Amino acid sequence: MSTQSYIHTVSKTHHLIRLDQYLKALHPNDSRTHIQSAIKSGHVCVDGQMIASPKFKVLEGHIIEFFEPSKLDTTTWQPQPMPLDILFEDDELCVINKTAHCVMHPGAGTPDHTLANAMLAYHPPAKDLDRAGLIHRLDQNTTGCCIIAKTQLAQQILTHDLSIRIIERTYLALVHGSIELPGHVNAAIGRHRTRRTLMSVSPSGRAACTHYRPIQRYPEHTLLELKLETGRTHQIRVHMKHMNHSIVGDRAYGQQRAPSKIYPSSVREALMNHPYQALHATRISFKHPIHQKTIMVETPPHAPFSTLLEILEPFITSNDEYDQ
């Protein structure tokens, strides 16, 4: 049985109503009980994040993904052994060091060879968990820390913690231009009006806040540490574009900027030819769902991002104690 999903964009008419009421209005043949159960079991995402509370208030511009519980059957996702770099693991969860070119779970255009398929092979009981235990998402070419639950209880608690923003995710990004001082971007994000697979800053979008701190500066680029106060789809990439400091290699949200001859040709080529966004989830901190102790996991950038930083090292103009 194939996965059946529905995607809705919240209109002005439904602004600020409960999530269960919104889905009931759009799916009148489903009972309220059925819809509430679907929400609580993790079958509904709002702007890419699983929301487990039926009382959650939707806003105009929200993108709602509703995966029908009767049709979302992860046993149709085939176990496929793939190399996994496990940074932390116990009986309840693991933290994976996600590689580039890795999609989180099967979907349109990517039926298999995803992180979910790999988890089904590595941890067969994941077949009984929603989305094989995935708690949050990273873009296909964003690397680094990703939490995966191994039990239903851990998944419920971690999904809730994510929704109330007590899981702290820290990223590194190499951006175009010079940023001298720490700051934040507070700009709402919604679906792009014409390019529907992309997001953009929009007054009618959802509130979004990204905090950033420069930790290394180069003649024409800055290495930033970023923390998400919210977790909107493509948030860092959209906010960096909004600041006119797009991420090196980001062909969806950036624009090719030819480095000047202040860099030698080898460095210019490395900057121009970076194959995807230089964005890495370097650290994640959260309370363990069972014993409530704080778990913090870190991992340095992967190649070619790490290689690019090494190439740029002789050109550092200031350094705020970043340890690669």
- pTM comes to 0.79
* Residue range 249-260: mean pLDDT, rounded: 89
Please spell the DSSP secondary structure of 153-199, one letter per residue.
Answer: HHHHHHHHHHHTT-SEEEEEEEEES---S-EEEE--EEE-SS-TTSE
Same domain, 91 and 203: no
Instruction: Please identify, among 37, 52, 67, the residue that sits at the C-terminal boundary of a domain.
Output: 67
Domain span at residue 106 reads 71-164
| Confidence bin at 128 (pLDDT 50/70/90) | confident
More confident: 231 or 323:
231
Provide φ and ψ at 130, rounded to 5°.
Answer: -65, 130
Q: How many structural domains comprise the chain? A: 3
Percent of the residues in the chain that have a pLDDT greater than 90, as a whole number = 68
Same domain, 310 and 182: yes
Angstrom distance (rounded) from CA 311 to CA 313: 6
> Given a cut of 70, is residue 152 above it in pLDDT?
yes
Residue 1's pLDDT is 29
Same domain, 118 and 60: no
Cite the beta strand spans of 5-128 per DSSP E: 5-9, 44-46, 49-50, 63-67, 86-89, 93-98
| Confidence bin at 295 (pLDDT 50/70/90) | very high
Per-residue pLDDT tens over the stretch 36-93: 878 887 778 898 788 889 999 999 999 998 876 544 456 679 999 999 999 999 999 9
* Residue range 29-38: mean pLDDT, rounded: 83
Same domain, 254 and 304: yes
Residue 90 is among the residues annotated as catalytic for this protein: no
> Given a cut of 60, is residue 304 above it in pLDDT?
yes
> Given a cut of 80, is residue 163 above it in pLDDT?
no
Instruction: Please identify, among 117, 143, 164, the residue that sits at the C-terminal boundary of a domain.
Output: 164
Residue 70's pLDDT is 47
Provide φ and ψ at 236, rounded to 5°.
Answer: -60, -45
E strand or H helix at 148, and its extent?
A: strand 143-149
* Residue range 99-127: mean pLDDT, rounded: 92
Domain harbouring 169, CATH code: 3.30.2350.10
More confident: 7 or 214:
214
Same domain, 232 and 124: no
Min mean pLDDT across 4-13, 35-44, 118-127, 307-316 is at 35-44
For helices 19-26 and 32-40, what crossing angle results, to 10°?
130
Q: What is the mean pLDDT of the chain?
A: 91
Closest to 52 measured CA to CA, from 60, 62, 44: 44
Same domain, 178 and 122: no
Separate counts of helices (H) and strands (E) for the chain: 7, 16
**3-class DSSP state for residue 108?**
coil
- Sequence-separated (6 or more) residues with CB below 8 Å from residue 107: none
For helices 265-272 and 305-312, what crossing angle results, to 10°?
150
Q: For the beta carbon of residue 82, count every other beta carbon within 10 angstroms.
A: 15
More confident: 68 or 323:
68
Same domain, 112 and 255: no
Same domain, 60 and 103: no
Domain harbouring 43, CATH code: 3.10.290.10
Min mean pLDDT across 35-44, 161-170, 226-235, 297-306 is at 35-44
Instruction: Please identify, among 50, 67, 84, the residue that sits at the C-terminal boundary of a domain.
Output: 67
Same domain, 192 and 115: no
Residue 109's pLDDT is 78
Residue 10's pLDDT is 95
> Given a cut of 70, is residue 322 above it in pLDDT?
no
More confident: 150 or 77:
150
Residue 72's pLDDT is 46
Angstrom distance (rounded) from CA 159 to CA 230: 14
Bridge partner list, 108: none
Highest mean pLDDT among 4-8, 105-109, 139-143 belongs to 139-143
Q: Would you mind telling me the total number of residues written for the chain in this entry?
A: 324
Structural contact between residues 177 and 221, judged by C-beta atoms closer than 8 angstroms: yes
Q: Which residue has the tokens 């680094």?
A: 144
Same domain, 213 and 302: yes
- The catalytic residue among 20, 47, 130, 139 is 139
Q: For the beta carbon of residue 126, count every other beta carbon within 10 angstroms.
A: 25
Structural contact between residues 5 and 37, judged by C-beta atoms closer than 8 angstroms: no
Same domain, 310 and 228: yes
Q: Tokens standing for 260? A: 């000047």
Same domain, 241 and 133: no
> Given a cut of 90, is residue 196 above it in pLDDT?
no
Residue 303's pLDDT is 96
Highest mean pLDDT among 29-43, 62-76, 107-121, 272-286 belongs to 272-286
